[in-house]
Amino acid sequence: MHALCLQLIPLIPLFLQIPGPFPTKGPMIDHQKETGLWAVKLPSADSVVVRRTLTTLTENPRGLPGLNESPEQIEKRDAFWSTVKPAHFGVKLGSKTLLGVFRFIAVGMFIGLLGRNAIGRWLLLKFPSFFSLGWFRKKGPSDDEVRSASFKMWFVGRGFSDMNVSQDKTKPDMEITTRVVGPEIGYLTTPIILVQCALILLSHRDNLPKGGVFPPGIVFGPTDLQEQLEQNGISFDLISKKSILA
């Protein structure tokens, strides 16, 4: 029996051939005109996982071969990965108000500072509502709160209309905005995603890699995971695609 282990692992350094110059770091806090939100940079594992996926793709431009793929599946996998290009990726946490952003920062500082020692961790566990400014509490959310909650993730990509762009070109000339929307992200969306991934592992085992430790993107990219999620209340929308001043 072949086991497939999906795990978040550190990025192995590898230079990715991305058109154009390396983007500037930008401000820690800014207003995102595309979404109408104030945003602060989030030092999460998401960026590492995406970079790891793109690193694996750079090493395997046609994706990872399946255990016992059919010719049709090989063609489908090749076609899918041929459309994916390497990119610089970062994550930000958004709020409708600037005050909400400072609330994010305050909670992050509480967790970062108090989580370093046993006494601080005891305080966080003893008084979660106080140190999270009301976001977390011991009892957890009620059923009504879970049912009424939802999440939105915006993806704003900027790049070049010409793939042969030189490194001297300093500003992208194309912008695309997409959005993922779903029910409450922790208690509802997370189980939905895990169950659908498990069903794909069971029903499409021959089309998946033999085994190993991989980021989820490189494994589930060419599968019908997106379609399965859309059938279970998670939507993927193209908001806009436009030219921008270069």
pLDDT tens digit sequence for 188-219: 999 999 999 999 999 999 999 988 889 999 99
pTM: 0.81
> How do residues 152-187 score in pLDDT, each as one tens digit?
999 988 888 776 665 556 678 889 999 999 999 999
Q: Give the 3-state DSSP-derived string for the chain, with helices as H, strands as E and coil as C.
A: CCCEEECCCCCCCCCCCCCCCCCCCCCCEEEECCCCEEEEECCCCHHHHHHHHHHHHHHCCCCCCCCCCCHHHHHHHHHHHCCCCCCCCCCEEEECCHHHHHHHHHHHHHHHHHCCCHHHHHHHHHCHHHHCCCCCCCCCCCHHHHHHCEEEEEEEEEECCCCCCCCCCCCCCEEEEEEEEEECHHHHHHHHHHHHHHHHHHHCHHHCCCCEEECHHHHHCCCCHHHHHHCCCCEEEEEEEEECCC
Query: Would you give per-residue pLDDT tens digits along the chain (246 residues)?
Result: 333 333 333 333 444 467 666 777 888 999 988 788 999 998 888 888 998 998 899 889 999 999 999 999 999 999 999 998 888 888 999 999 999 999 999 999 999 999 999 999 999 999 999 999 988 888 888 999 999 999 999 998 888 877 666 555 667 888 999 999 999 999 999 999 999 999 999 999 999 998 888 999 999 999 999 999 999 999 999 999 988 875
**Predicted pLDDT at 98:** 93
**Predicted pLDDT at 15:** 43
